[in-house]
Structure 1
Amino acid sequence: METNQSIRDAIEVSIRFLDSNPEFYIGSCENGRRKWNGAWWHMATLYEMGEVKQIPSSAIARAKYLLEVQTWPTFVIYPDDYPTSEVDKMKMDCCHCELAEYYMILMAYGCDLDKELPWIREWFLKHQLSDGGLNCEPTAYTNSHKSSIVSTLPPLEAILLYTNRPFTPEETVFLDQGARYLIEHRLVCSKESGNIIDMEWLNPCFPRFFEYDILRGMSYLVEWSRRRNKPLPTDLLKEGMHRLYSHIEATGLRIGRQVFDPQGAWGGHTFPLLEEVARIGDVSPYLTRQLTGIIEQLEHFTNE
């Protein structure tokens, strides 16, 4: 995909930052999202642009070291899940969506995390709730047993997109139940009331990082249908296309939201590449690529 000079210049700024940045820590799930100029956000932006190979190997090595040595490999739900040693108490705690984003970046780069850090894939498969999704809120596993769409998508994508062998029976259940969860929620709706859970999800977002929008859910269902040889939920996808209509132009799909909105709860310092690729109202070539894939699959199934 051709990029303009301003984006190429901004990519170079991020590459220099990643190559020279000695620290690699995203902070907690709550506080880390205000630090938009950390190494994690530069890497995630490049990954979502399809430019993961431009990430310096030194930054990849630091990210992998963070997962290997400085991350507590257990999602804390029960008292016994907490670290006990002073060394372990200093480690980073992850939630499902953050861990999945880390995993996808490193796997896309060429790391074999399933061999080197097998606990990550096991983490995703272990924490699927009975409704088919996951939830980064620990109390969901002891009280409500209800999933979060935001928490669900990154782990589903991680297993679906980064398995270069036949899926295991456990993985097929994970992926199929995740698809069922999205279908039952009509991508953006409460299963009980049928109302849209969050109207912001109708606004295409780029880069997304951990965030959800309707296009992300639609893209998962299309790729799940293809890789699992399952029927495409065409009516639901057509409904999704209708919900996206106001953002579609002849040249592609316009950005409708910024996850790092300076006026929002997660506002903070940004960086040139993030500013270049995330302007609200701009047609995003990256979102357009996803939309085109959905349209092509709908046409293919319609013409069969």
Structure 2
Amino acid sequence: MTVNPALLDWLLDSDPALRWQVERDLSGAPREVWSASRGRIATEGFGARLLALQDPDGQWAGGAYFPRDFDFQGPETAEGAGQPWTATTWTLNTLRDWGLDAAALAGTAELLAANSRWEYDDLPYWGGEVDACINAYTLANGVWLGADVSGIAQWFLDHRMADGGWNCEWVDGSTRSSFHSTLNSLKGLLYYEAATGGSDALRAARRAGEEYLLQRRLLHTLSTGELVGPWVTRLAYPFRWIYNALSGADYFRTAALHDGADPDPRLTEAVGAIRAARRPDGTWLQERRHPGRVWFDVDVAPGEPSKWLTFYGTRVLAWWDGAPNAKRGAG
């Protein structure tokens, strides 16, 4: 797939957190170019702003998953209010996803071990808690920052559902996997595997979770064949914990490159939905913002062309269209 030069220039005119990825994955820039752009995340733009907001105790907003001042009985818990995205876990997720060098956070793992505890049962930060998504984030963030999170890796083996995936609501009795929880778990497991080499058991668990989504073509319920929810094709950046087809397809791109595999043909329909959302000028629109307080906005308002979504969408289609696999559909 050849990227329109005007579109590429538009994408390159971005914060270093996005620019380096465009250079590496779309423009074919040499390593020394995109590596230099990546190095600017710690000192310029969005990344530098988030780093400056870190508390002396290693946390952000004074809490592990929620800000210290979050009122669990207040208006932020009302239906439709969303959740805050400012606390430690969400900020670490963002910085890691953007590609920040962990050296910029030297000492943070130790500070969090000493000072941060989960809002659930006051559990120690690097031990994780009971929520699959939170544990997936902590697994990836921990191995990124050099913490021992091997116990969380084992947690995923112990808490996988019989249908192959995970559900954050298992603690409330759920026995069926969730699209949201499974994708977030897979992202954490893949990041951990790439960093550590993983194990045969973890690879088997990851592939079972992938199969859960692939059997449903990333879009549908298995029982009725209907779309699993309206959110599945509604694109928004940042992705947060909410599943959508683009976030799912981008995971499978990363996993296929890690495994040295071709795209699975069961992704065809999801890729088609992503392609259908692309506008004639090659951009994708921000369709919504996930509600909740943020440190600052990193993408456009709903209805405007999103550089982040355009990057992810273009990258997925470039991978899909360029991979040699005669059995898959065109998407």
Same fold, judged at TM 0.5 (above): yes
Instruction: Call closer, same or farther: CA 1:137–1:26 in 2, change over 3 Å.
Output: same
* Greater mean deviation of Cα atoms: 223-232 or 129-138: 223-232
Per-residue CA deviations over 1:26-77 (Å, capped at 9, x if unaligned) read 249x95962333333333222232336486435444334467xx359xxxxx
Distance 1:45 1:165 in 2: 21
Deviation at residue 150 of structure 1 after TM alignment: 0.6
Instruction: Call closer, same or farther: CA 1:130–1:230 in 2, change over 3 Å.
Output: farther
Partner of 1:147: 177
RMSD, aligned α-carbons = 3.5
For the Cα contact (< 8 Å) 2:139–2:149, is it kept in 1? Answer: no
Return the match for 1:196 from 216, 221, 227: 227
1:269 aligns with 2:280: no
Amino acid at match of 1:296: W
Deviation at residue 120 of structure 1 after TM alignment: 0.7
Among all aligned residue pairs of Structure 1 and Structure 2, give the percentage whose two residues are the same amino acid: 16
Counterpart mapping for 1:90-101 below 5 A: 90-91=122-123, 93-101=129-137
How many residue pairs get aligned? The number is 270
Deviation at residue 160 of structure 1 after TM alignment: 1.7
Counterpart mapping for 1:78-227 below 5 A: 89-91=121-123, 93-108=129-144, 110-111=145-146, 113=147, 116-138=148-170, 145-163=175-193, 164=195, 166-227=197-258
TM-score of the superposition, structure 1-length normalised?
Answer: 0.73
TM-score of the superposition, structure 2-length normalised?
Answer: 0.68
For the Cα contact (< 8 Å) 1:104–1:162, is it kept in 2? Answer: yes
Distance 1:66 1:148 in 2: 32
Structure 2: which 5+ residue stretches go unaligned? 1-11, 19-43
Instruction: Call closer, same or farther: CA 1:205–1:64 in 2, change over 3 Å.
Output: farther
Distance 2:122 2:192 in 1: 30
Partner of 2:62: 23
Distance 1:62 1:251 in 2: 44
Instruction: Call closer, same or farther: CA 1:71–1:42 in 2, change over 3 Å.
Output: closer
For the Cα contact (< 8 Å) 2:218–2:267, is it kept in 1? Answer: no
Instruction: Call closer, same or farther: CA 1:103–1:65 in 2, change over 3 Å.
Output: farther
Partner of 2:50: 14
Distance 1:10 1:302 in 2: 38
Deviation at residue 293 of structure 1 after TM alignment: 4.2
Amino acid at match of 1:36: W
Amino acid at match of 1:138: W
Partner of 1:257: 288
For the Cα contact (< 8 Å) 2:250–2:312, is it kept in 1? Answer: no
Amino acid at match of 1:221: F
1:295 aligns with 2:318: yes
1:3 aligns with 2:42: no
1:282 aligns with 2:305: yes
Amino acid at match of 1:128: R
Q: Which has the higher contact order (CA 8 A, sep 6+)?
A: 1
Amino acid at match of 1:158: G
